[in-house]
Amino acid sequence: MSTASSISPGSLNDLPFDNRFTRELPADPNPVNSRRQVQGACYSRVLPTVVASPQIIAYSAEVAEILGLSREACESEQFAAVFGGNQQLPGMDPFAMCYGGHQFGNWAGQLGDGRAINLGEVRNQQGQHWTLQLKGAGPTPYSRTADGLAVLRSSVREFLCSEAMYHLGVPTTRALSLTLSGEKVMRDMFYDGNAAYEPGAIVCRVAPSFTRFGNFQIFAARNDDETLRRLVDFTIKNDFPHLGEPSQETYARWFEEICRTTAEMVAHWMRVGFVHGVMNTDNMSILGLTIDYGPYGWLEDYDSTWTPNTTDASGRRYRFGNQPTVAHWNLYQLANALLGVFDGPEPLEQALEMYSTHYEATIQSMMAEKLGLKEFEPTTDKDIIKELLEVLQLVETDMTIFFRQLSNIGIVNADDDADCLSPLKAAWYKPEQLIGDKLSRIANWVRSYRNRVQQDGTTEESRATKMNSVNPKYVLRNYMAVLAIEKSEQGDHSLVNELLELLRHPYDEQPGKEEFAEKRPEWARTRPGCSMLSCSS
């Protein structure tokens, strides 16, 4: 690592790399970058593929600041070269991780970082470790039959959503940069035989750790308890140091924390209407962070059965309403993998039971906040929330707009049903369907809600302020990403950067940006990339 006095503050060459993962864990002894089964190793060293002409089209100034990078550094040719994969900085030690996973409920064996390459870990001025990872930087030993690349379409979505979720208050990995590679990449977007060349792109993802449930599962599946224990102890020592030195008691506290943070992450997804789309165990972070933004989607019309993933269209395993259950199932698979380091199953079973209790308490508290209530009162609020989630599906209702507009509901009851619902009219896609029993039922819910608010004795102003701090006005609606992608593919990256800035303040009014807070346009109802997506990139 260079320490020359000529290095300017905030420069790339000044990034202090401290590569614990490659220093302390067993490496793949085979240096050849060929597809294969990797045994007894946590990672394989591999370099990114050199690309034709890397060009930065967007970067997160906030993530750059976390890393200690200046604006000048982020707008330099060197930045494009490094985060396009063409240049390694002093101290980098690039590698791809070995892991397995359950995909759509079935054990898939070895998976690994098939198109992700970790450049190294940076230790910032606050003493925090941040792993820098390029997604779409070329093949690794874990790429199987794929090319290890990514296209602009999926990369724009990953870059924007990583930052959007952070500013929504959802636990997530971050994104530093979005880079055009200058290459063309062949993709069959819907696996229907219509492959075409698309612009290649690379996202630099940033997280304290990219360790997944599957990192532990692979060694358990191979009965490699020695490597499993090494990885567990390493993870506790470096990512969970507050739990103390590894021991049976520490292992129990560790798994309990994983269950707790996973429950909180999924509760946040449900709060903002996010559907991950591919909750395989290899896509679950050990830190309770949202990871791997592939065929995700935002719940626009409230439908608990909706999934954005074409691969999941028939079984709907990863539908919106099933996410808490899938997370519990995934934790159960992780618990099975960790049995090799526990003296018995009891601590794991207790933590799994705690997951359900903690999730329920967390989502109840969040729903109370969304409704502007002082706190969740079981005797009244269980029924109010249950009925709300049912009436939201009586007619096509935009979830984000409904909750945002609900803050405008006054506490004085209106006798006429239509007048009662007037403040919410912007939330319905087909307001002409608000007739008869549907109209009456929704209006009656609003009256029940008003009565509950009156019991709290909260002023309308304070209730609205509270609600608008947890109910976003702006989310990354799929059609918005599609518009940004289409412009970017034509060489105009302005909308990518405009949305990046918009989504930095999702709870603010942002005058002049109201078009992005409106319902999904009708043209986007069935448009590819708006209604459904595939795992393809």
User: DSSP labels for 58-79?
Assistant: EE-HHHHHHHT--HHHHTSHHH
Q: How far apart are CA 171 and CA 156, in angstroms?
A: 20
Contact between 355 and 262 under an 8 Å Cβ cutoff? The reply is yes
What is the per-residue pLDDT across 339-389, written as a single tens digit (0 to 9) for each?
999 999 999 999 999 999 999 999 999 999 999 999 999 999 999 999 999
> How would residue 7 be classed by pLDDT, with cut points 50, 70 and 90?
very low
Q: Measure CA 22 to chain center.
A: 25
Same domain assignment for residues 120 and 172: yes
pLDDT mean over 257-281: 98
pLDDT at 537 over 60: no
- The answer to whether residue 343 sits within a structural domain is no
Q: Percent of the chain beyond pLDDT 90? A: 92
- The answer to whether residue 253 sits within a structural domain is no
Mean pLDDT estimate for the chain: 95
Token pair listed for 390: 């049912």
- The answer to whether residue 466 sits within a structural domain is no
Q: Percent of the chain beyond pLDDT 70? A: 97
Same domain assignment for residues 74 and 156: yes
521 to 139, 471, 479, 495, 530: CA distances (angstroms): 38, 21, 8, 17, 10
> How would residue 528 be classed by pLDDT, with cut points 50, 70 and 90?
confident
Residue 6 has a pLDDT of: 36
Q: Which helix (H) or strand (E) holds 205?
A: strand 196-207
- Selection from 134, 119, 129 nearest residue 177 by Cα: 134
> How would residue 536 be classed by pLDDT, with cut points 50, 70 and 90?
low
State which residues form the domain around 120.
12-213
Q: Measure CA 281 to chain center.
A: 14
Contact between 124 and 130 under an 8 Å Cβ cutoff? The reply is yes
How many distinct structural domains can be found in the chain?
3
Radius of gyration of the chain (CA): 24
Kindly list the catalytic residues.
282
What is the per-residue pLDDT across 119-128, written as a single tens digit (0 to 9) for each?
999 999 999 9
> What is the four-CA torsion angle of 39, 42, 47, 48, rounded to 10 degrees?
110
Same domain assignment for residues 448 and 418: yes
DSSP output for 83-141: HTTS-PPTT---EEE--EEEETTEEEEE---SSEEEEEEEE-TTS-EEEEEEESB---T
Residue 519: phi, psi to the nearest 5?
A: -60, 155
pLDDT mean over 413-436: 91
Same domain assignment for residues 441 and 499: no
- The answer to whether residue 346 sits within a structural domain is no
- The answer to whether residue 332 sits within a structural domain is no
pLDDT at 5 over 60: no
Same domain assignment for residues 135 and 86: yes
> How would residue 189 be classed by pLDDT, with cut points 50, 70 and 90?
confident
pLDDT mean over 504-518: 97
Same domain assignment for residues 48 and 145: yes
> How would residue 192 be classed by pLDDT, with cut points 50, 70 and 90?
confident
Q: Is 401 exposed, middle or buried (0-12, 13-18, 19+ CB in 10 A)?
A: buried
Q: How far apart are CA 216 and CA 229, in angstroms?
A: 9
Q: Which residues contact 494 (CB under 8 A, 6 or more apart)?
A: 487
23 to 109, 120, 204, 254, 308: CA distances (angstroms): 26, 11, 22, 23, 39
Contact between 129 and 203 under an 8 Å Cβ cutoff? The reply is no
- The answer to whether residue 536 sits within a structural domain is no
- Which has more pLDDT, 418 or 72? 72
Same domain assignment for residues 408 and 508: no
Residue 8 has a pLDDT of: 52
- The answer to whether residue 276 sits within a structural domain is no
> How would residue 2 be classed by pLDDT, with cut points 50, 70 and 90?
very low
> How would residue 531 be classed by pLDDT, with cut points 50, 70 and 90?
confident
Same domain assignment for residues 390 and 487: no
Residue 129 has a pLDDT of: 96
Q: How far apart are CA 370 and CA 471, in angstroms?
A: 6
Provide the 3-class DSSP secondary structure of residue 203: strand
Q: Which helix (H) or strand (E) holds 44?
A: strand 43-45
Q: How far apart are CA 185 and CA 51, in angstroms?
A: 12
Q: Whole-structure pTM over 0.75, yes or no?
A: yes
Provide the 3-class DSSP secondary structure of residue 156: helix
Same domain assignment for residues 20 and 150: yes
pLDDT at 159 over 70: yes
Q: Tokens 């899938």 identify what position?
A: 326
> How would residue 9 be classed by pLDDT, with cut points 50, 70 and 90?
low
Q: Which of 179, 196, 213 is the last residue of a domain?
A: 213
Same domain assignment for residues 55 and 150: yes
Same domain assignment for residues 75 and 203: yes
- The answer to whether residue 268 sits within a structural domain is no
Same domain assignment for residues 206 and 112: yes
